[in-house]
Structure 1
């Protein structure tokens, strides 16, 4: 008798812990992926140190990609929030941890030298692995080109990763990010050479790209940092934060293409 009572209690407890019965025969069309953006970072350290940090309590990312071999580590399930973006904004969305997938690349970033910052390159193997991963994430989440951004794009006042040696053009060639047509940029450069836009124009065009940028019409440090972040992505040979004709042409072509 005691055995029967014990079995009955266990069955009752099991039923209580299984949760409510939910009918899943209907599905709403009004939905999309939790992930709206993919944010690219570098770790500023080697693989072991990167793993030690990202496995801890303070900082995390959904994926980490080694340098060589370019092993892809999944550290956080895509359905859960990772802590990689911090204070951030893109296209009006703030605190992007809740709406993005974070990918960290093992890369030392830069060291300060006599001639300024020395940036470390990315390995071909690592970028190949990244492109495969990005295509998979975008396909599964229904994301379009333009959803991939750098940490420096969403937090230009405090971050510079993935840096000027990150090959954004390779991602563009793979159909993952928009890229300005070179002929159209040259044409715009000629047109703008005789009528250089003012600072307010640059601020408005950068805001259309998605950046959080002041729109007060004068060139302050905050605006320079945003310009530099854009230049680092589309003109990595010079990212001094100066609002010049070539930067204006790049912005005009990208925004005209939507």
Structure 2
């Protein structure tokens, strides 16, 4: 009986082994690319201990966490080949559900505090930004991220998010060659025509959608359109981000959406 059981066990194991595929990794296909198309930047709205707790023990997650210590560290929390749960309901251009096509970076920062004289936003230390820039350059190199695809959470979800806030140094990222930035001379040249005649709301909605934002096309300055304008202004014109269409916003939009001239 023991011999019979042993023979049966060997037969079962042999059968299982024969069903296991032999994977040969000696070949590589030319036609492939990274699944990662976007990088989304967030602030944590909490201190470092709570940020770590939330991002490691709760449902929300991110690929990286940049600390706010005197010597900031970068924690890798989710492998870049896996989806992190950081974007939520989101869209950019023709893409939706950006968790599955993006890398999420959380930055330890309190966000803002409402005071009697208005809302006060917290900035980012120079050393913290240095770490962010270095990390973004590495990610860009690994995944060939396009300049227009480095985004804030407020850009992919303008109706519900405000991070990384108007004090995030997007212009520094532009100076480092990471993102596209509207040419100041081109904006100055376009400004007079919009000061003389401000485009209607439909024009702003069309241009915002062309740039990438999910924007209502109602020809009405509704709350949803204001929220999109706030996200746009906070990034490209953070001296004033009230969601009100004006000549400078129009000039910046015009330059950003102008057809690219091939050399």
TM superposition score category, shorter chain reference: over 0.9
**Unaligned stretches of 5+ in structure 2?**
none
1:234, 1:181 → 2: CA distance? 11
Q: CA 1:175–1:28 in structure 2 vs 1: closer, same or farther (change >3 Å)?
A: same
Q: 1:162 — aligned with what? A: 164
Distance in 2 between the 1:19 and 1:84 partners?
Answer: 36
C-alpha contact (below 8 Å) 2:90/2:96 kept by paired residues:
yes
Determine which of 80, 95, 105 is the counterpart of 2:107.
105
Work out the CA distance in 2 between the residues paired with 1:94 and 1:17: 42
2:127 equivalent to 1:125: yes
Distance 1:173 1:191 in 2: 28
Q: Deviations over 1:34-82 (max 9, x none)?
A: 1110000000011100000000231000000001221000000000010
Q: Shift in Å at residue 24 of structure 1?
A: 3.5
- Whole-angstrom distance in 2 between the partners of 1:9 and 1:130: 56
The alignment status of 1:60 with 2:58, answered yes or no, reads no
C-alpha distance after superposition, 1:171-213 (max 9, x if no partner) = 0000001101111101111122222111111111111111000
Query: In 2, distance between residues paired with 1:66 and 1:195?
Result: 46
Query: Aligned to 2:239, what secondary structure does the other structure show?
Result: coil
Paired residue total = 255
1:184-195 correspondence runs (5 A) = 184-195=186-197
1:49 corresponding residue in structure 2? 50
- Per the alignment, do residues 175 and 95 of structure 1 end up closer, same or farther by CA in structure 2, a change over 3 Å counting? same
Give me the CA root mean square deviation: 2.2
Counterparts of 2:21 and 2:239 in 1: how far apart (Å)? 59
Residue matched to 1:237 = 239
- The aligned residue for residue 39 of structure 1 is 40
State the distance in 1 between where 2:119 and 2:17 align. Answer: 61
Q: CA deviation at 1:25?
A: 4.1
Aligned position for 2:84:
82
Decide which of 90, 95, 98 is 2:97's aligned counterpart: 95
TM superposition score normalised by structure 2: 0.91
**Residue 30 of structure 1: aligned partner:** 31
Are 1:182 and 2:184 counterparts?
A: yes
5+ long unaligned stretches in structure 1: none
Contact persistence 2:37–2:146 (CA under 8 A): no
Q: Report if aligned partners of 1:231, 1:247 keep a CA contact under 8 Å in 2.
A: yes
Instruction: Specify whether residues 19 and 141 from structure 1 end up closer, same or farther in structure 2 by C-alpha distance, changes over 3 A only.
Output: farther
Q: 1:152 to 1:17 in 2, by over 3 A?
A: farther
In the alignment, which residue of structure 2 is the partner of 1:172?
Answer: 174
CA distance in structure 2 between the aligned counterparts of 1:40 and 1:202, rounded to whole angstroms: 25
Cα deviations by residue, 1:119-149 (Å, 9 ceiling, x for unpaired): 1110111100000000001100121211200
> Displacement, 1:26?
3.9
